[in-house]
């Protein structure tokens, strides 16, 4: 049955050459988008064009190619700024990915603002990337990590969050959307509540940006991170948005070229934003590829993406709920992109392997969110995760594959 929404997915799929292949003699059904998403031709072409025509280092050359590559690099920063509705392109820092963005904030803002006995608040549904950097900081400073619990649906317990905040809280760091559960967190309310204590908020948007319109000014958040490779751009590049005043006051993250304005052996002065945080030759091609991905998404429209995926998620949820012996992990009322499940008597890795033989690519494991697995009393789940190029037929193939799994294990 075709999707009930208006997105022309048949045309869209033609933009993604990788999807038109067979694996194990079956058409590829790619449902591992939360791990990484596929790239449209325009992104692949932007990378090729850069290396064929414009490749040169940025910001320091006087020649044509360097001017062109600098111009494309900085144009991409402007695209990200508009995509996130940030007030200024100085607030857009290019990093390796969401992980590096969080580490940057922990090592700069965190190390200057957190002391012994202070507290950092995260949630029980965070990716390891939004746990470990804070744990490392707390260990170094003698600070305390406080964790907002989640209920059986996989939703944050907001009243518990409110109780965790106090005059020792220095930062709140939460995911916008959980990669393991799909829960969409009420980040606007989280920011409001934290700000009433004058506590800044970092939002891990790795799983939100591919699925919905994100407006950092509307969210009023202080930091927002995401990875290009989950948003149809290249790997090895990502974005840290930071409120200008906070970034101004933060010390640099790494030292090196491009982040300085003058160096002597006695004293170095640092460059202005955003360059203060971009030491060394960056991933120029990656940034340009990310810019191409944003252009592509702008054309499709994030509202259309969200509506299509919402339809798929509802369709998939209904289908999986009707399979006996299958338990969905993560049934939040507000959800995006993720169908995580366990089947009685079947190890999630075995389910993943059998699905692969049917051409269905899913992920099996703890999804870098071991505390979430502990919370639900499982060691792993099988996770199907969606993108706008998926169809109801993809969900039907997943369901047929799960029936195969059950036959193999005669569940």
Nearest to ligand PMP of 191, 397 (CB atom): 191
- Stretch binding ligand PMP (CB under 6 A), from 105-113, 126-134, 291-299, 385-393: 126-134
Least distance to ligand PMP, CB of residue 337, Å: 10
User: Mask 305-344, x = binds ligand PMP (CB under 6 A)?
Assistant: ----------------------------------------
- Stretch binding ligand PMP (CB under 6 A), from 125-133, 165-173, 274-282, 400-408: 125-133
Q: Which of 37, 69, 107, 175 binds ligand PMP (CB under 6 A)?
A: 175
Nearest to ligand PMP of 97, 359 (CB atom): 97
What is the C-alpha to C-alpha distance for residues 54 and 324, in angstroms, rounded to an integer? 56
Q: Residues near 268 by Cβ (< 8 Å), separated by ≥ 6?
A: 255, 260, 262
User: Mask 363-402, x = binds ligand PMP (CB under 6 A)?
Assistant: -----x----------------------------------
227 binds ligand PMP (CB under 6 A): yes
Q: Which of 33, 108, 207, 283 binds ligand PMP (CB under 6 A)?
A: 207
Active site residue 368: yes
- Stretch binding ligand PMP (CB under 6 A), from 202-210, 243-251, 277-285, 334-342: 202-210
**Number of other residues whose CB lies within 10 A of the CB of residue 367:** 23
At 382, phi and psi to the nearest 5? -95, 135
Q: Which of 106, 172, 194, 206 binds ligand PMP (CB under 6 A)?
A: 206
Is 27 in a helix, a strand, or coil? strand
Nearest to ligand PMP of 127, 335 (CB atom): 127
Structure tokens at 101: 């963005």
In 206-228, which positions are buried (b, 16+ CB within 10 angstroms) versus exposed (e)?
A: bbbbbbbbbebeebebbbbbbbb
Least distance to ligand PMP, CB of residue 140, Å: 21
Residues in 47-106 that interact with ligand PMP by CB under 6 A: 97-99
Structure tokens at 394: 């993809």
In 252-287, which positions are buried (b, 16+ CB within 10 angstroms) versus exposed (e)?
A: bbeeeebbbeeeeeeeeebbebbbbbbbeebbbbbb
What is the C-alpha to C-alpha distance for residues 207 and 226, in angstroms, rounded to an integer? 8
Burial class of residue 411 (count of CB atoms within 10 Å of its CB; 0-12, 13-18, 19+): middle
Q: Which of 179, 385, 390, 391 binds ligand PMP (CB under 6 A)?
A: 179
Q: Which of 204, 278, 309, 394 binds ligand PMP (CB under 6 A)?
A: 204
At 320, phi and psi to the nearest 5? -70, -35
Are 169 and 161 spatial neighbours (Cβ–Cβ below 8 Å)? Answer: no
Residues in contact with ligand PMP by CB under 6 A are 34, 97-99, 127, 129-130, 175, 179, 204, 206-207, 227, 368
The residues assigned a catalytic role are: 368
């Amino acid at each position: 049955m075709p999707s009930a929404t208006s997105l022309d997915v048949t045309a869209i799929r033609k933009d993604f050459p990788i999807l038109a292949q067979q694996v194990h003699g079956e058409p590829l059904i790619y449902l591992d988008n939360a791990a990484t998403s596929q790239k449209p031709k325009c992104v692949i072409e932007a990378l090729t064009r850069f290396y064929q025509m414009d490749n040169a280092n940025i910001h320091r050359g006087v020649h044509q190619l360097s001017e062109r590559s600098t111009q494309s690099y900085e144009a991409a920063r402007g695209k990200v700024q508009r995509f996130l509705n940030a007030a200024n392109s100085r607030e857009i820092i290019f990093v390796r990915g969401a992980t590096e963005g969080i580490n940057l904030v922990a090592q700069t803002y965190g190390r200057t603002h957190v002391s012994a006995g202070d507290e950092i608040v995260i949630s029980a549904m965070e990716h390891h990337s939004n746990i470990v950097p804070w744990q490392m900081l707390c260990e170094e400073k003698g600070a305390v990590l406080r964790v907002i619990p989640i209920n059986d649906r996989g939703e944050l317990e907001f009243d518990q969050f409110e109780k965790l905040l106090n005059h020792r809280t220095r930062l709140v760091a939460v995911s916008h959307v959980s990669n393991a559960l799909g829960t969409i967190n009420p980040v606007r309310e989280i920011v409001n509540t934290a700000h009433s204590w004058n506590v800044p908020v970092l939002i891990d948007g790795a799983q939100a940006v591919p699925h919905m319109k994100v407006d950092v000014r509307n969210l009023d958040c202080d930091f927002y991170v995401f990875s290009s490779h989950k948003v149809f751009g290249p790997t090895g590049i990502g974005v840290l948005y930071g409120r200008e005043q906070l970034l101004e006051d933060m010390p640099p993250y790494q030292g090196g070229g491009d982040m300085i304005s003058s160096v002597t052996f006695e004293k170095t002065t640092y460059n202005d934003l955003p360059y203060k945080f971009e030491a060394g030759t960056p991933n120029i091609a990656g940034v340009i590829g990310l810019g191409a991905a944003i252009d592509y998404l702008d054309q499709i429209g994030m509202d259309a993406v969200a509506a299509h995926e919402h339809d798929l998620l509802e369709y998939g949820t209904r289908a999986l709920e009707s399979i006996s012996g299958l338990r969905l992990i993560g049934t939040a009322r507000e959800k995006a992109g993720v169908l995580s499940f366990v089947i009685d008597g079947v190890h999630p890795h075995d389910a993943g392997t059998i699905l692969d033989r049917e051409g269905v690519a899913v992920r099996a494991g703890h999804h870098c969110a071991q505390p979430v697995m502990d919370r639900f009393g499982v060691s792993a789940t099988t996770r199907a995760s969606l993108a706008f190029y998926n169809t109801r037929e993809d969900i039907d193939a997943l369901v047929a594959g799960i029936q195969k799994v059950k036959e193999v294990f005669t569940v």
